Structure formats: structure tokens, C-alpha cells
Amino acid sequence: MIAIEWLRRGEGALSPGGFAQALAAGSAKASGQFAAEQFQAAELLAFSGRRRALGWRPVEVGPLTVLFSGHLDNPPLAELDELGADWTDPRVLARLYAKSRLRWGAATDRRLIGEYAVIELDRSARTLRLVRSPLRAPPLQYHAGEERVIAASVPRAIHAAGLPVRLNEAKLADHGLFNFSDPVAGWFVGIERVPLGTEVVFTPGESASRLVYDLRALPKVRMRSDSEYLEAAHSLLSEGTRAALHGCKRPGVMLSGGLDSPIVAAKALAELPPDGTLRSYTFTVEPEWDGFEFPGQFGNERPLVEAFAAMYPRLEARFFDNAGSGFDAGLAEMHFATGSGAIHQTNFSQFHALWRAARSDGCDRILMGDFGNYTFSTEGYWGFVEYFLTGRWRQLYLALRDAGFDERPLWRRFITNVVMPLLPEPLFRWQRAVRGMPDVFALASPLNPGFARESGALERAARAGLPRRRSALRARWDDFCAMQGEDMGEHSDLMHGFEQIYGISQRDPTAYRPFAEFCFGLPTPMFLRDGQTRWLAREMGRGILPEPQRINPAHGVHNADWHVKLGRMRKDLLGEIDRLAASERLASILDFDKVRAALEDWPEDSSIPHERRLPLEAAATRAVALARYVNFVEGRNA
């Protein structure tokens, strides 16, 4: 983690102590701090010795002072005279980045491949530049005042430099409506975020932001045969897996019963030494789970993972049912580590046991396959509209007939998948209202309706095309660009939080940029073909996955045993909601009456319709999570 405070006009006083210590808070590590006439910089170090940290100073190359957070997958060592350098060392990477900037200038962030955030101070030009790599990157946030700019990996360092702690209520309201469309807004007044693939440059008198990487500018990928596509995809994913494993001694993998992470695990095993082992970590349902699954879903990952592990003797599979825990597992730790109140943090509660076990097992790197949903295993649902508009009638018919779990007549599937995405927004909203369609966002949202309206959240959600964004079903690039613009729903903050809490770095080979760019350039039939969704991933899984798993059209559910977990907590939650609702401040933000009524009308099992389930599984849990976040920020007890 990195931070800087810069006097943009060259005069004034730097903030007193606590700036660097805020980076190290909760980490059991030391932070280095260096102060010069016009700036002070800090970095979280890899060791705990405070005396050793006293000698730290930022990397300087020519006029550039550079702080680097993250990793590079292709450091150009030979070109930059760094042969033999340890490119897992942040100082080496900072030096490499500085040399790259002096040699390649504006092209640097297109030539370098990796996941990184950089603070670059040009002392001669009197500019401060903040940049994050495209697709995925560690977080980087900043406060830009007239006299100074403060930038850091986490907001607590910015607050330690003197910025008052005030919650950004617009951000809170937007998250309460599941609107993640603003990639710049931070969780605190006066703090903004550097979006992915973007640089923000400050001079004494102004600031400017520009994209350093544009998904829409990527070339199309066209090959002569399926075998060539598959060979290239395998080669690039293997290359990305080698890069993800570089420098680690004991890797682990978060493993599901789907397609993405098992293929990553198989690639990792192929790259490890012949006697090397790979530990996998999988969450499963509690023993008391009632077994209910909606069509097209599976709730228990364990049988599929066990079948996969049986194919790979060097895979040591571990399973965790999180018995006794609930949606709030790790929530307080995440609030502190990230400063974020992201509404979907409750979806990640099951992962804390896995990260904790990986730390106990001595893992020093966690592999994931989350980004596969955007690259090689995307569903390809934009293909319905594309096949219709381009007259590929056979492919459209097969997609309508076979893709997804839909028992409705073919003509209704056509209306849903082709006509509805093409309707103008006002007409789309009108037909839903006429048909009495439930607003799932209203059912799932924990916001007080008055707060949602008065805060402007409803208006902003409408401008973003919510509650149901259809752009992904109309055009593939709208989907990918929304992913980059929305920063994957603040996924990077959460992953950075896990790294802070458990002291283990994480990598996702499916986000390796050459592989991702290859997948982004592929034609639609590589994803939706002959009625088969996720075609490329399924073909890549031949011989790698058990056949039932490879062709399984169902999706895993993160929270299938919600009824067990929430039921165990229900009495305590009702008491907590009563205490929270007594706060005029919280009651003005959150609809406690709605969630209390849902918890009191408790179902016998989880086989209930969405209209009844969402206020329980989504609204109730998120109301409590957001209330605890507000209390955390504002220093109140529940």
C-alpha cells in the first residue's frame, strides 16, 4: 500500500504524524515514511521492524519519484537494463515503472501488463500523476484541495493526513439501490477514486483525467478454425497462470464446482513442479440446508469439486460449511480494511473461512477465476439480439430453444431475449408497469423510500438504466465497458481487503491482459453457439474437467443455505433492528419496518418466490450491514 501528500503550490505545511502509520494499521507490519520540502510519501513494508523502516525512502529515477502497488506480469527487464532484478520487490517495480515512463511516456500503461496502482511525482514539471492499470488493479483514492493533494491505497491514510471523516451519503444511497455506475465517487466527502485504466494528473492550478486504455479500441480476433482459437486460448491462459504463480512458494486456489476456477486449478497444477501440490478451498452448504434449488442453479459445490479433485491426485481439496457463521462474518474487518460500505460485501462472508484456512496452511498466493465471467466463460447472451439483427436465424432458433432454463413457449422467449432488449427505455418501463412486474431492486433494497427519493438515488439509478440494465443484452461492448467503468462493483476494494486482513496476495489468471484481450476480440459464436452458452470455456474444459461438470448448464449459488444461517440469527437480528431503528439518523436512511416485517413473517423453508425471499435474503442482511457501516464511520455503537 502507498500514500503521498503533495503541496501543489509548493508552500504550506505538511500534515503531522500518523500518515504512514495509518497504512500499517492492523497489519502487524511497519510502514516507511519520507518527508521532503513539498511532499511526504509512505509505503507499507513487507516486514515488521520499525527501526529498519526508518531508512526507507521512495524510489527516485531522474525527476520522477514513484510509489508502486501491485504486480507486473511482463517487466521489460532487458530493455530497461534490469536483468536479474527481483520483480516481486515493490521498489524494483517502482524503478521499472519510472524507467518505463521516461522511455515510453504516455504509452507506458499500454505496454506494461499487470495489476497495479502508481503514484508518480515529477519534481521538475511539478505534476502529480495517479494511475491504475486496466481491467483489474489495487485501489487508489485521492483528495484534491487547492493547496494539497493526498492520495493513498486506503481512505484511512487520507483521513490521517487531516481530511475530516464525513460519509458520502449519495454513495451510500446509490449502493442501497445497487447502483455502482459511478467509478469516481468515494465513500467519503472530499475523496474520489481513480477509475480502472485511467490516469489523473494534478498541477499547481488544475487537474485532468484521461483513459490510458480503451476497451473499444481493441482489435477483433479472427482465426481460421476452432482448433486455432482453442490452441491460442489454452496457450494464453497457461502463460497467465505462470505469471500468477511467479515468486510464490505455496499457492492455493479458491475452487468452485463451475468452469472457471477448476480450469485455472488444472493450469496451475500443470505449471507446478512434478512433486508440487496445490491446496484448494471451497465453501459448501451447512448440513441443515433444506436442499431447495431454483431451476438452473446448484447449491452444494462439494460433489462437483470432489469429482474434479479425483482427477488430480496433487490437488488437496478442503471444504468449509461455515456452520455457525452468518452474512456478517468478517464484515467489521472489511469495513476497517477498505473503508468501504459496498452493499454486496455480505455475498463474500463465506470466503473469510477459506482465506483464514489458507493463511493457516502457509499459502503465500491465492489463485482465483472470477474474471472468467468477463473473458472465456461469458454466457454470450448478447447473441440473441446479434443473431436477430444479422439474420442468423438458425443460431437464433437454437439459442432460444436450448440456452438457459426457460420452460415458456418459444414465442415468449423471443420477446424476452430479443424484443425487450431493443425496446426504448420508456416503453420498456411502461410494459413492466402494465404487466405488474415486481421491481426486484425495490424488493431487495434496504433503503427508506423517502431517502432513496430525496437523496437523488432514484433519479441517478434511472439515468444509469436501472433497475434493469439491458445494454448487456443489446451489445457486447456495452457489457465489457460497463464492467470497466463500474470497477467490477468495487471488487478491487474487497480483494484488497482480503489481502490486508489475511496477509496473502491474490491473482486471477483469467484477468491476464493478453488472454482477456484475446477473449474480448472473439466473435459471438465462440460464446453462444448451437444453443450452447459459454462455448469456449466448455471446449477448453475437454479432458480437464469431469464431463458432467463440463456440460453442466447450471450455476452455483453463493448463499443457498441462507434460510439456515438467517434463521439462526433471526431473534438476535430482530433485537438489533429495534436498537438500530431507535436512531433517527439510521431510520431516515433504512427501511427497518420492511425488514422487520419480513423477518417476522418467517417461512418454513427456502422454497419461496422471489417476492418473499428478496426482502429476507437481500434487504434484511444489507440493512444491517449498511447500518453497521454508518455506525462504524460515525463512531456509534449499535
Tell whether 218 is covered by a domain.
Answer: no
Domain that includes residue 156, residue range: 2-213
Which of 556, 586, 601 is the C-terminal boundary of a domain? 556
Check residue 47 and give its pLDDT. 84
Residues 480 and 509 in one domain: no
- Is the pLDDT at 83 greater than 70? The verdict is no
174 and 317 co-located in one domain: no
DSSP assignment letter at 185: B
Residues 120 and 237 in one domain: no
Distance CA 90, CA 59 (A): 10
Q: Are residues 161 and 61 in the same domain?
A: yes
Q: How many CB atoms lie within 10 A of CB 478?
A: 16
Residues 585, 527 share a domain: no
The band of 192, judged by pLDDT with boundaries at 50, 70 and 90, is very high
Report the pLDDT value the prediction gives residue 488, as an integer from 0 to 100. Answer: 62
Burial 149-162 (b: 16+ CB within 10 A, else e): bbbbbbbbbbbbbb
The enclosing domain of 136 has a CATH number of 3.60.20.10
- Do 558 and 252 contact (CB within 8 A), yes or no? no
135 domain residue, yes or no: yes
Phi-psi region of 329 (alpha: psi -120 to 50; beta: other; left: phi over 0): beta
Residue 219 placed within a domain:
no
| Side chain identity at residue 344, one-letter code | H
Are 436 and 511 part of one and the same domain? no
> 290, 563 in Cβ contact below 8 A?
yes
> What's the rounded mean pLDDT across residues 496-519?
96
Q: What is the pLDDT of residue 468?
A: 62
| Whether residue 475 has pLDDT greater than 80 | no
Measured distance CA(11)–CA(539) in Å, rounded: 61
pLDDT bucket at 13, cuts 50 / 70 / 90: confident
Q: Check whether 487 has a pLDDT greater than 60.
A: no
Three-state SS letters, 247-288: CCCCEEEECCCCCHHHHHHHHHHHHCCCCCCEEEEEECCCCC
Give the Cα separation of 574 and 103 in Å (integer): 61
Q: What is the mean pLDDT of residues 56-73?
A: 96
Q: Is 318 among the domain residues?
A: yes
Q: Is 359 contained in some domain? A: yes
**Number of domains making up the chain:** 4
Q: What is the pLDDT of residue 489?
A: 59
User: From the CB of residue 459, how many other CB atoms can be counted at a distance below 10 Å?
Assistant: 11
Considering the domain architecture, whether residues 17 and 115 belong to the same structural domain is answered as yes
pLDDT in tens, 157-166: 999 999 999 9
**Residue 308 · residue 262 · CB < 8 Å:** yes
Q: Is residue 220 part of a domain?
A: no
Cell numbers that stand for 502 in this block: 489475511
Strand 297-298, strand 198-202: pairing: unpaired
| Calpha distance 564→568 (Å, rounded) | 6
Same domain, 575 and 549: no
Region 444-455: mean pLDDT is 93
Of 556, 571, 600, the residue at which a domain comes to its end is: 556
Q: How confident is the model at residue 86 (pLDDT cuts 50, 70, 90)?
A: confident
| Pairing verdict, β 114-122 and 127-132 | antiparallel
The band of 486, judged by pLDDT with boundaries at 50, 70 and 90, is: low
Q: What confidence score (pLDDT) does residue 470 get? A: 65
Q: CA-CA distances (angstroms) from residue 531 to 110, 116, 407, 410, 527?
A: 36, 39, 15, 13, 10
Same domain as 250, residue 167: no
CATH of the domain at 361: 3.40.50.620
Distance CA 120, CA 134 (A): 17
What is the per-residue pLDDT across 283-334, written as a single tens digit (0 to 9) for each? 999 999 999 998 889 999 999 999 999 999 999 999 999 999 999 999 999 9
pLDDT value at position 525?
Answer: 96
Indicate the average pLDDT of the chain.
91
Residue 439 pLDDT exceeds 80: no
Amino acid in the structure at residue 452: A
Q: Tell me, yes or no, whether 455 lies in a domain.
A: yes
- So what's the pLDDT on residue 425? 78
Helices (H), 445-486: 449-454, 457-463, 471-474, 476-485
Domain boundary among 523, 556, 589: 556
Q: From 155, 148, 6, 134, select the one nearest 67 (Cα to Cα).
A: 6
Three-class secondary structure assignment of 208-256: EEEECCCHHHCCCCCCCCHHHHHHHHHHHHHHHHHHHHCCCCCEEEECC
Cell (9 digits) for 591:
427501511
Residues 179 and 328 in one domain: no
Is residue 395 within 8 A of residue 529, CB to CB? The reply is yes
Q: Tens of pLDDT along 353-363?
A: 999 999 999 99
Q: Give 384-417 pLDDT, tens digit per residue.
A: 999 999 999 999 999 999 987 788 899 999 998 9
Nearest CA-CA partner of 599 in 586, 582, 581, 618: 618
What are the pLDDT digits (tens) for 565-584?
A: 999 999 999 999 999 999 99
Considering the domain architecture, whether residues 266 and 321 belong to the same structural domain is answered as yes
The whole-number pLDDT of residue 335 equals 95
Whether 519 and 546 map to the same domain: the answer is yes
The pTM is what? 0.94
